[in-house]
Each structure stands twice: as structure tokens, then as C-alpha cells.
Amino acid sequence: MRSGIVTLIGRPNVGKSSLLNALVGRKLSIVSHKPQTTRHAIQGVLHAGDGQVVFVDTPGLHLQARKALNRAMNDAAAGSLHDVDLVVLVVEALRWTEEDQAVLERLQGMPAPVALVVNKVDRVSDKTRLLPELEQLSQRRDFAFVMPLSATQGHNVATLGAEILARMPEGPPLYPPDMIVSYDNAFLAAEIVREKLTRSLHQELPYALTVAIERYTVEDLQRGPGQMHRIGAVIWVERDGQKMIVIGENGSTLKRVGSAARRELERLLGARVFLQLWCRVRENWSDDPKALRQFGLSGE
């Protein structure tokens, strides 16, 4: 048996969360087209016949971290680089930015080996550009290996999983076989609501909101088998104007977000879900260390 811990690191939006979900074969981490979607280090476990890999999805490391929330996200990512067996640096094919460069520099002097995953190769229409791109990227440091893949198309994902497992140290599993994820259902509910909000709200609004679960109870259904999860969630924003946008005309936006989140939670939990959403204002929460602690966004 082999087992180990592997951190997925990279700038925002390269597809780290998509890759975690693809590797484990389940949606564990929320995904959106906007950068800085992931805010916590999230562990997902890949169980194989001959071993186990604990993957850690991390917030995208970014420059210009002006607010306390941004600093907490960067800290959560950087803190996940210690005591791991392998670091997987995720980048986007044909798009190397100064933030990628900054991540690469941050990995200097780290004891763990670093592998490079070149994601989103499905977007490279001219495939003759891929080989020179891979060659160029391999020069940037001494990588354990370099692998092109597509997290959303599934291309090379299983190969990556096998390659990583083969490099894990020999040893017993770190977690029991039924353990797949590190968080509880309340965290999942907050994240799914935030994902739907992030996908449907424009511009800066996703960065000004967070979701906190105030109530979570589970009861047996009175008619038939199965369970009902009753969830009460508060969407915190920073200003009254933002609250109006989140709620929408006659509550239409909140209603749309609520039903999308409820449907997905019912699928993920395999249960009925009753989801109530409220929107409240807490001025400047994203730059307020006390608020961040209360919302579980710092000091992980």
C-alpha cells in the first residue's frame, strides 16, 4: 500500500478545484469562471486498490492581496505546502502570467518535489503548439514530471492519479475507506450557495459576499424512506446596495439562486432539502479580521 498528501497549488482560475473533483470523481470543491472562487484548503481523498492519495485543493495564490480576506486566502494556500509528499503546480496551457511566476518563486526551497500540470489543453486548437509549450514550461524548474491534461474533459486525469499514487511513500492509509472529504454538510451547503451566487452575480459582488449557515437539522421524512435536511443560510454582503442586488426584484435573484442550490444539494446529499436564505449587511466584513474569524475564513 502507498499513501500520501498532495497539494494542488496555482494562481486563481487555472482549474485546481476542477482537477480535484475530476481526480476524486465527485464534486467536492466549488467551481466558477471567476478567479478567487476557492477560499479554504479542502481535502479530498482518492481511494485506489493499492493506496490512497489525500489531495488538498487550495485558494488561488494571488498578487495584490489588499484585503484581510485575500491575505487569509493566500495564507491558507501557502500553509498547505508544508509536510506534503508532492506539490502539483497547476497552470493553464499557453497562458503564463506574472502570478504563475510568483507561485513558482514561492515554491523555491520547499522540500517536497513539485510536478507540473498543464491544464485546459482542450482549449488549444492548434495542437502543434503543445509540444513546444510543454518543453518551454519544463525549463522553468526541475519538475518531478510534467503532464498536459484537461480537468473538465477528463483527458489524462486517471493517468495523473496513477502517476501520483506511484510516487507516494509506502505506508498504511491515512483515512478510513469511507472518508472522502474533510468538511461537514453545513460547509458544503454554504459553499454550494456561494457557488450559485458567484456564477449568477456580476463584477465585484461575489467578492463582497460570504455565506454562513445559521441552522442545519436533519429529520426522517414522514411519508416514505429518506431524510429532509432543513438549512437556514445567511448571505452576508458589505452594503445595502449589494443586498438589493442579491435579493433582486421581488426576491427573484434570491429565489433563483436558492432553487439552484437546493437542487444540487439534494443530488449531492441524496436527500430532500429545504433551504431558506436571508441576506444581511455587515459593513466591510472582507477586511475585518474579527468578521473573518466569525465566518470561519481565517486561522485555518
Ligand X SMILES: Nc1nc2c(ncn2[C@@H]2O[C@H](COP(=O)(O)OP(=O)(O)OP(=O)(O)O)[C@@H](O)[C@H]2O)c(=O)[nH]1
Residues at the site binding ligand X, with contacts judged by CB under 6 A: 10, 12-18, 31-33, 35-38, 59-60, 119-120, 122-123, 150-153
In this chain, which of 3, 17, 156, 298 binds Mg ion, going by CB under 5 A? 17
Smallest distance, ligand X to C-beta of residue 116, A: 15
DSSP conformation letters of the chain: -EEEEEEEE-STTSSHHHHHHHHHTS--S---SSSS---S-EEEEEEETTEEEEEEE-PPP-S---SHHHHHHHHHHHHTTTT-SEEEEEEETTB--HHHHHHHHHTTT-SS-EEEEEE-GGG-S-GGGHHHHHHHHHTTS--S-EEE-BTTTTBTHHHHHHHHHHTSPB---SS-TT--BSS-HHHHHHHHHHHHHHHHS-TTGGGG-EEEEEEEEEEE-SSSSSEEEEEEEEEEESSHHHHHHHH-GGGHHHHHHHHHHHHHHHHHHTSEEEEEEEEEE-TTGGG-HHHHHHTT-S--
Smallest distance, Mg ion to C-beta of residue 13, A: 8
Residues 88-107, interacting with Mg ion (CB under 5 A): none
Q: CB-side exposure of 289: number of CA atoms within 13 Å?
A: 3
Listed ranges 15-23, 252-260, 278-286, 291-299: which one lies at the site for Mg ion (CB under 5 A)? 15-23
Identity of the residue, 56 or 212, whose beta carbon is nearer to Mg ion in the bound complex:
56
36 binds, among Mg ion, ligand X, none (CB under 5 to 8 A by kind): ligand X
**How many residues of this chain bind Mg ion (CB under 5 A)?**
4
Identity of the residue, 155 or 230, whose beta carbon is nearer to ligand X in the bound complex:
155
In this chain, which of 38, 52, 119, 286 binds Mg ion, going by CB under 5 A? 38
Name the residue type at position 84: V
53 binds, among ligand X, Mg ion, none (CB under 5 to 8 A by kind): none
Smallest distance, ligand X to C-beta of residue 56, A: 12
Identity of the residue, 50 or 300, whose beta carbon is nearer to ligand X in the bound complex:
300
Sheet holding 227-237, edge to edge: 210-220, 227-237, 272-281
Identity of the residue, 38 or 156, whose beta carbon is nearer to Mg ion in the bound complex:
38
Smallest distance, ligand X to C-beta of residue 10, A: 6
Identity of the residue, 1 or 102, whose beta carbon is nearer to Mg ion in the bound complex:
102
286 touches Mg ion by CB under 5 A: no
Identity of the residue, 36 or 298, whose beta carbon is nearer to Mg ion in the bound complex:
36
Identity of the residue, 152 or 182, whose beta carbon is nearer to ligand X in the bound complex:
152
Q: Which residue is nearest to ligand X (CB)?
A: 60
| CA–centroid distance for 240 within its chain | 29
Identity of the residue, 14 or 23, whose beta carbon is nearer to ligand X in the bound complex:
14
Of 145, 158, 142, the residue nearest 117 (C-alpha): 145
Smallest distance, ligand X to C-beta of residue 221, A: 34
- In this structure, what C-alpha cell is assigned to residue 97? 502570467
258 binds, among ligand X, Mg ion, none (CB under 5 to 8 A by kind): none
Residues that bind Mg ion (CB under 5 A): 16-17, 37-38
